Amino acid sequence: MNKKISKKKLLSQNFLKDKALVSSLVEKSSINKKDTVLEIGPGNGIITTELLRKAGYVIAVEKDPDLFEKLLLKYKNRKDIEVHNSDILQFDLPKYEYKVFSNIPFSIEGTLVRKLIDHPHNPPVDAYLIMRRDVATRMVGIPKEGLFSLLHKPWFDLEIFHDFKREDFKPEPKVQSSMLRFTKKKKPIIDFEMKENYRLFLEKAFGGGGRIKQNLSPLFSKTQLYRLSSDLGFGLNSIPTQLSFEQWLGLYNFFIKSVDSKTPTITKKK
């Protein structure tokens, strides 16, 4: 039974092996002794030990029962850490301010990032997550903005914190890995109360993959579209991903002030 669990785990999670690299990454992070840090999938504790040097308190959540028992033994005399044998997707996130620093399983990376960043009441103030590079860059909006990056940039700063080499891990993954960082903005660009309105606007504007002129025609008049195209510097025949975050922000702000001023919420009217 344990062998099956281990093999399954190796398919979705590759563990860092260089303590110096881990120490450097933790040192460069914003983590300090005032912070509580959530670590997901700590494995053998190579990251956990470095987090305990820098953070005030660590919450480690490990799904594998064998690894969980080893972590309990390793940190049994410490009062600055709690270790849970739990599935992070079912785990209740802290209700107070916290940060995240984790090497997460590839198999749940998208679902997990959304659980953290989209938490309705208490997302982490700062998060560092090792994941597949293509997924991380897409979430950041590299090389082009997508719905995920556009939907979160008004409230979070998104960046690639570090690019790894395959040989940094054991076993070596078949894909490239990066560390995604997202940090909660101290002052949001859009009021949180308008988050649903902004989401509906973007979903309508992205449409079914059509051109900007087609997708935005239900939201703006032809005159407004030509004016916005000129003022914001985009082509009406562009596809949604060719516009920058700043251009989308300009479109949304114009919509709120000039088009939707009397109706603060976009409805699904035909």
Q: How do strand 36-40 and strand 57-62 relate by DSSP bridges? A: parallel
Cα separation of the two ends of the chain = 55
Confidence of residue 225 (pLDDT cuts 50, 70, 90): very high
Span of 7-11, 29-33, 83-87, 198-202 with lowest mean pLDDT: 7-11
Which tokens is 185 given? 């903005």
Please compute the mean of the pLDDT values over residues 15-27 and round it to a whole number.
97
Record the tokens describing residue 216, joined without a space. 């935005």
86 pLDDT above the threshold of 90: yes
**Contact indicator for 206, 215 with CB cutoff of 8 Å:** yes
Secondary structure (3-state) at 61: strand
Q: Which letter, b or e, does each residue of 8-18 get, where b requires 16 or more Cβ atoms within 10 Å of its Cβ?
A: ebeeebbbbee
Topology, domain 192-259: Helicase, Ruva Protein; domain 3 (1.10.8)
Cα 22 to Cα 43: distance, rounded to the nearest angstrom: 14
pLDDT of residue 258: 84
Cβ neighbourhood burial of 90 (10 Å; 0-12, 13-18, 19+): exposed
Q: pTM for the full model? A: 0.90
Of the candidates 103, 100, 85, 93, the one whose C-alpha atom is nearest the C-alpha of residue 41 is: 103
Helices (H), 187-261: 195-206, 212-216, 222-232, 245-254
For the chain, what are the domain ranges?
2-184, 192-259
Q: pLDDT digits over 92-141, tens only?
A: 999 999 999 999 999 999 999 999 999 999 999 999 999 999 999 999 99
Does pLDDT of 262 surpass 80?
A: no
Q: Which of 123, 185, 184, 133 is nearest to 160 (CA)?
A: 133
Q: Does domain 2-184 match CATH 3.40.50.150?
A: yes
Q: For residues 197 and 129, give the distance between their C-alpha atoms in angstroms, rounded to a whole number.
A: 29
Q: What is the mean pLDDT of the chain?
A: 91
Residue 260: per-residue pLDDT: 57
Distance CA 145, CA 149 (A): 6
pLDDT of residue 269: 43
pLDDT, tens only, 166-219: 999 999 999 999 999 999 999 999 999 999 999 999 999 998 778 999 999 989
Q: Is the pLDDT of residue 12 over 60?
A: no
Cα–chain center distance at 237: 30
DSSP summary character for residue 103: E
Closest to 25 (Cα-Cα) out of 183, 160, 184: 160
